[in-house]
Chain A
Amino acid sequence: MRRSPTPLGLLLLACLAWPAPSAGEEAPGEEAPAPPAGEEEPEVDEEILITSSPAPGSRLPSARARSEVTREDLARRLPRSAPDALRFEPGVFVQQSAHGQGSAYLRGLTGQQTVLLFDGIRLNNSTYRQGPNQYFFTLDSQSLASIQVQRGGGSTRWGSDALGGVILALPVEPRPEASPGDWFGWDPHLRVASGTADGEIGGRLQTGLSFGDTFAFLGGAGGRHVGQLESGGAVHNPADGELPLVPRFADDGRTQLGTGFDELTFDGRLVANLSPRHRLKLALYGYRQFDAPRTDQCPAAHAPYDECLKYDEQFRTLLYAVYEGRRLGPVVDQLRATLSWQQQRERRTMARPRAAVQHTGRDVVDSLGLTALARSPRLALADALDLQLEAGLDTYHDLVSSAAWIAFTDIDVTARRSRGQYLEGSRYTYGGLYAQAGLEAFGQLRARAGARLSWIDARAPDDPESGTRAVERSWLPMVGNAGLEWRPLSSLAVLVNYDRSFRAPNLDDLTSRQQTGPGFQFENPALGPEQADTFELGLRLSAPILLEAWGFRTTLHDAVVKSPRQDADCPPDTPACQASWTKLQLVNAPADAALWGVEGSLLAELPWGLEARASVAWTWGEGPNVTPRPTDPDAAYQARVPLSRVPPLNGTVELVWRSAFGLTLGADVRWATRQDRLALSDLSDARIPRGGTPGFAVLDLRASARLAERLLVSVAMENVLDAAYRYHGSSVNGPGRSFIFLIDLGPLWRSPEPARPAGP
């Protein structure tokens, strides 16, 4: 077996080699401490033209359509996963192909057409596929401080893939645990969670450690067992009233086969405040998911009840080091650099037990990453005219290992395939240089602009046995953005943005062969990049209520879409292609595709401790019809057709009451209308009921109470009316009426007074 690169040694070496604070530098402790675990990063008074935070890369730009899930939101809503935590964000629609997966649609796009980030490091790699994927699920929501969402293109800052938007998850930071005057502090937490809809039982043990003012550590491990999910019942086809082919139900008509999984997580984060100006972080995040069936393939439509595609292993490991510098000189006010190694490993098995056959695939992607970002101080060009600059680079290198085999369990024989889903030894290098500038005039008008030069290089070997061609492709795209923000009133801002983003074909597009929801998809080594031009207009009212409204139009040039293919188009020696009902290949659309829509959000602080929130989003997507025009001129044919799985009109309403004595109560409604605008590939996708996905409205009730200083109890009653519902494009129906419980104990105890080390 090929060994994965382990840059741990390099990172440790970097830690050891980092210079200690020198004489003359400010003493540790003079810098404002990191925020306590579980609390939000405080907003600073300082106005930043490019982002709204002093830490580069820690906040998505406020001048864009942006929203944020805070730690308080996470604690109140008790999401089942990181994707689940995004359900209340405007313009975000979370699809699930499995109970153990989740993929967020941003302005009608998801998967490889959005960028996922963790602490500024890309989760996206070169095997992200078109359509929904499971990878955001591999973040432990209990280790997150916040999740930010930027709707609309973001390639200038984040590179390839950021067509529909960007999702940035930030981890909980360690905090100094020591009491004033103590050298050592220790702060353990224990959380236990349980859910009745899926029999979830799990928890997390976490501890913070601090050593003086210099070192702080936060580490934890968690796990959970999740059983089969009981829904509110079957969602019926709008077209004929029949049951959709997926999911398959148990005899009770509510419990969904092909759901449930086991999960382990672990993480450790060490922060070294080397000086008030220099900080070093070393972090490790691990996610291990076992036995997670893909609901629409467990069993697949028409297949026997015991046939199941299961992700035996869905693993992710991220190890990285961060350097953060502040006030480094007259030109560089802030600097952030990261060096990362990430490994994504998945192993899938399609088991047909009565035939004693298992089809297994295993893919491992090792990604080495380097990022650097520098930001200038605000430079006064003239009276009431300030400039701020930001520049950076990032580059990642993926190395792919892929294998597949078929095993006959009754005779204990295994035969390897000549290739896996990808090609063993494929490589993908991607990155870019970028610069952004922000200009503020008279305190009312702000202008921003940026540009990026990217590099992408794809290399994959051939595989003659399967008729796979070698791939050697390179691209050097240029993109940019510009925006204006006008504040006619102190509480009112009008924002206009233009963004050009891009997505270069990745190894999944260029080399993969796989069964997808709509059919068998095979590679297109000649695929070209796609670009997105986004124009958006926003209105932001900050008093007396927070109100945002955005309208957007995204034009996709050379959009990558699934095109139906014939038997003769299938690659040679690929019987799974010819034998599939639907064959698909990704192609560049011959004409522009477009997405447009509106999004709104509201946050109102009401009397008596009440708070009201609401969100709404509507998206329309259409593109050219890539199926051949029928030879019969009288045959029905639409030149433009809906884009795949564009979410319907949807929204949320939340009402929260916070008492002065630690009790919080909430009620919310999640709703969506019917989506019957279906792409051709949607029609062959068993995840979508015939005639579209029915609309729904789901009521949830939530409560949490701090019963003691160290005891927080939360409970949520989901789907109070026991509605049968499904988010459009999902394989799995939402939970039926059920409860989620969370008990949070912490800190359990304080460490005894440590002996202070002898002073110099």
Chain B
Amino acid sequence: MHRLPAVTLLALALSACGGDPDANGQDGGEGEPILGEPCAPPPAYVEDVSGCAPAADAYQPRGGQDTWPACVSDDGVYHPLGASISSIARVQAYHAIALLLWSADPRPTRQDFLDARILFEEEQGLGSRVARRYDPHFPAPAAGKCEDEGVPAANPDYCVGPATLQPLLTGAFASGAEGEARLVNAARIHAALQWFLYVSVIKEATTCATTAADCDSHWAYYAGGGPRESPLGLGAEILALAPETHQRIYDGLLAVRCWRNLDHEGGEATDLALRDRAIAQLDRALLRGMAVLVRQRFAELGCASEHYRQAALEALRVLVPLLDRAVRERDASAAGFLAAEVQKEAAAIDAAGAISRLDALFPCY
């Protein structure tokens, strides 16, 4: 623990106070100029759901025949367990950051980065959750938790928040605020936060077994507290590209809620098999949604130029590792292909090859 030297302590004691710092912001310059053009219009993607069918054990609140008992989700609406869902505020912050950095005006200023970072680092905000987020797809450390010293470095896949996402985000916010590679840094932030939201949905669904409030959080991290037809945050981004995938994800969210309704809603869940079944349905759909987002980035490589294309590549360099586990489970060679492609220069990337593999590995259902 840092200690002040005795002389300094004495001086402070006698002076009785230290002054407040003056606010110091940006110097007004915008840093490096942004070159190139974005895709105009953005690459078109039409989701083909003609050959899709839900899994046999899937929960189908939109009218399909399923094997699930009747539950609170059968009306197709998410019914929160609690009256207060703090995660919604974090998704609202994500939305506000998006407006500053990538969605409203894709030419963020240094001040935009600073304002976005303030939103990100609010007390109990996104930053506080990124710093503790773990990915339950990976085995937990044999000893310790991701909050403990040294554990994230030793378990980077499980402790994805502190080990991977937090340093990436901190660096991108700082670099952007310095005016460096603003589009690239905005894309990194965007992709890292998408990764965070994806992991958060699955993590909260998992811990919902013991902490009922986490059920609502799993829904909030995807939909931002919004209804099926107008989600906020990650849900809105997937809905814009792949409406049916969004519907399937929402069905998965309701499957989790249905399980919790059937499994000691007021206490601790015991039917973990049903939980895993619900989460598997959700994760399958959500991975499909994330793959669509990645697919879109690959498509942008072909129509964007200069910094805009570099930004798409940087987003892929963040998001392809997110999909690596799921891709590798399905096709190890495809995982290797994708990982190798995103390490190339943008012009040398086989975007069509990557897209075809993603479509094959993460089909609609």
A359 near B123: Cβ-Cβ < 8 Å? yes
A365 within 8 A of B: no
User: How many angstroms from the CA of A479 to the CA of B87 in the assembled complex?
Assistant: 46
Q: How far is the CB of A261 from chain B (nearest CB, A)?
A: 9
B70 within 8 A of A: no
Chain B, 7-50, contact with A by CB distance < 8 Å: what is the 0/1 string? 00110110011111111111000000000000000000000000
B124 near A576: Cβ-Cβ < 8 Å? yes
Also in contact, A290 and B4, with CB within 8 A (given A413-B24, A566-B84): yes
Also in contact, A575 and B119, with CB within 8 A (given A262-B3, A304-B131, A415-B23): yes
A130 within 8 A of B: no
A596 within 8 A of B: no
B148 within 8 A of A: yes
Residue from A305, A307, A345, A579 in contact with B90 in the complex, judged by beta carbons closer than 8 Å: A579
User: How many angstroms from the CA of A299 to the CA of B146 in the assembled complex?
Assistant: 13
Also in contact, A225 and B124, with CB within 8 A (given A305-B149, A354-B166): no
With A262-B9, A290-B4, A579-B89 given, can you name 19 additional A-B contacts, CB distance below 8 Å?
Answer: A1-B19, A228-B1, A264-B9, A288-B13, A291-B3, A303-B131, A317-B16, A345-B16, A350-B123, A352-B131, A355-B131, A403-B20, A408-B174, A408-B177, A411-B178, A415-B118, A576-B124, A578-B86, A580-B123
**Which residues of chain B have C-beta atoms less than 8 A from A414's C-beta?**
21-24
Closest to A347 in B: B18
B88 within 8 A of A: yes
Residue from A264, A291, A405, A575 in contact with B13 in the complex, judged by beta carbons closer than 8 Å: A264
B54 within 8 A of A: no
Closest to B161 in A: A304
A266 near B13: Cβ-Cβ < 8 Å? yes
A356 near B19: Cβ-Cβ < 8 Å? no
**Which residues of chain A have C-beta atoms less than 8 A from B127's C-beta?**
352, 355, 357
For A286, A345, A347, A357, the residue with the greatest tally of chain B CB atoms inside 10 Å of its CB is A357
Closest to A412 in B: B24
User: How many angstroms from the CA of A411 to the CA of B180 in the assembled complex?
Assistant: 12
B85 near A567: Cβ-Cβ < 8 Å? yes
User: How many angstroms from the CA of A242 to the CA of B85 in the assembled complex?
Assistant: 26
B117 within 8 A of A: yes
A407 near B21: Cβ-Cβ < 8 Å? yes
User: How many angstroms from the CA of A291 to the CA of B4 in the assembled complex?
Assistant: 9
**Which residues of chain A have C-beta atoms less than 8 A from B125's C-beta?**
575-576, 579
A387-431 interface (Cβ within 8 A of B): 403, 405-408, 410-416
B147 within 8 A of A: yes
User: How many angstroms from the CA of A357 to the CA of B146 in the assembled complex?
Assistant: 20
User: How many angstroms from the CA of A352 to the CA of B161 in the assembled complex?
Assistant: 14
**Which residues of chain B have C-beta atoms less than 8 A from A355's C-beta?**
121, 127, 131, 166, 170
**Which residues of chain A have C-beta atoms less than 8 A from B178's C-beta?**
411
B170 near A354: Cβ-Cβ < 8 Å? yes
Also in contact, A286 and B20, with CB within 8 A (given A302-B147, A576-B124): no
Also in contact, A579 and B13, with CB within 8 A (given A352-B121, A355-B170): no
B167 within 8 A of A: yes
Residue from A266, A299, A413, A576 in contact with B26 in the complex, judged by beta carbons closer than 8 Å: A413
Q: How many residues of A contact B (CB 8 A)?
A: 62
A186 within 8 A of B: no
Chain B, 148-169, contact with A by CB distance < 8 Å: what is the 0/1 string? 1100000000000010001100
B147 near A415: Cβ-Cβ < 8 Å? no
Q: How far is the CB of A228 from chain B (nearest CB, A)?
A: 7
**Which residues of chain B have C-beta atoms less than 8 A from A403's C-beta?**
20
A306 within 8 A of B: yes
B84 near A304: Cβ-Cβ < 8 Å? no
B121 near A223: Cβ-Cβ < 8 Å? no
B10 near A264: Cβ-Cβ < 8 Å? yes
Residue from B12, B86, B128, B148 in contact with A305 in the complex, judged by beta carbons closer than 8 Å: B148
Also in contact, A580 and B124, with CB within 8 A (given A313-B18, A411-B178): yes
B189 within 8 A of A: no
**Which residues of chain A have C-beta atoms less than 8 A from B85's C-beta?**
567
User: How many angstroms from the CA of A364 to the CA of B18 in the assembled complex?
Assistant: 12
**Which residues of chain B have C-beta atoms less than 8 A from A567's C-beta?**
84-86, 88-89
User: How many angstroms from the CA of A414 to the CA of B114 in the assembled complex?
Assistant: 10
User: How many angstroms from the CA of A355 to the CA of B166 in the assembled complex?
Assistant: 7
**Which residues of chain B have C-beta atoms less than 8 A from A227's C-beta?**
1
Q: How far is the CB of B189 from chain A (nearest CB, A)?
A: 13
Closest to B19 in A: A1
Closest to A362 in B: B20
A319-353 interface (Cβ within 8 A of B): 343, 345, 347, 350, 352
Residue from B13, B90, B147 in contact with A286 in the complex, judged by beta carbons closer than 8 Å: B13
**Which residues of chain A have C-beta atoms less than 8 A from B93's C-beta?**
575, 579
A356 near B170: Cβ-Cβ < 8 Å? yes
Closest to B124 in A: A579
**Which residues of chain B have C-beta atoms less than 8 A from A286's C-beta?**
13, 16
Also in contact, A299 and B147, with CB within 8 A (given A355-B170, A413-B114, A579-B90): yes
Q: Which 6 pairs from chain A and chain B are nearest by CB?
A: A578-B89, A579-B124, A579-B89, A576-B123, A288-B13, A416-B23
Closest to A317 in B: B16
Chain A, 118-139, contact with B by CB distance < 8 Å: what is the 0/1 string? 0000000000000000000000
A725 within 8 A of B: no
A583 within 8 A of B: yes
A515 within 8 A of B: yes
Chain A, 670-683, contact with B by CB distance < 8 Å: what is the 0/1 string? 00000000000000
User: How many angstroms from the CA of A410 to the CA of B18 in the assembled complex?
Assistant: 22
A583 near B84: Cβ-Cβ < 8 Å? yes
Closest to A407 in B: B21
User: How many angstroms from the CA of A264 to the CA of B86 in the assembled complex?
Assistant: 41
B56 within 8 A of A: no
Also in contact, A405 and B20, with CB within 8 A (given A302-B147, A356-B174): yes
B1 near A260: Cβ-Cβ < 8 Å? yes
**Which residues of chain A have C-beta atoms less than 8 A from B119's C-beta?**
575
A288 near B20: Cβ-Cβ < 8 Å? no
B261 within 8 A of A: no
User: How many angstroms from the CA of A638 to the CA of B178 in the assembled complex?
Assistant: 56
B3 near A354: Cβ-Cβ < 8 Å? no
B122 within 8 A of A: yes
Closest to A364 in B: B17
A291 near B89: Cβ-Cβ < 8 Å? no
**Pairs across A and B, CB under 8 Å, 10 listed:** A260-B1, A264-B10, A350-B123, A352-B131, A354-B162, A405-B21, A407-B21, A408-B173, A566-B83, A581-B124
B293-326 interface (Cβ within 8 A of A): none
A520 within 8 A of B: yes
A273-297 interface (Cβ within 8 A of B): 286, 288, 290-291
User: How many angstroms from the CA of A290 to the CA of B9 in the assembled complex?
Assistant: 8
**Which residues of chain B have C-beta atoms less than 8 A from A583's C-beta?**
84
For B12, B26, B213, the residue with the greatest tally of chain A CB atoms inside 10 Å of its CB is B12
Closest to A627 in B: B83
A184 within 8 A of B: no
Closest to A635 in B: B266
**Which residues of chain B have C-beta atoms less than 8 A from A345's C-beta?**
16-17
B12 near A288: Cβ-Cβ < 8 Å? yes
A93 within 8 A of B: no
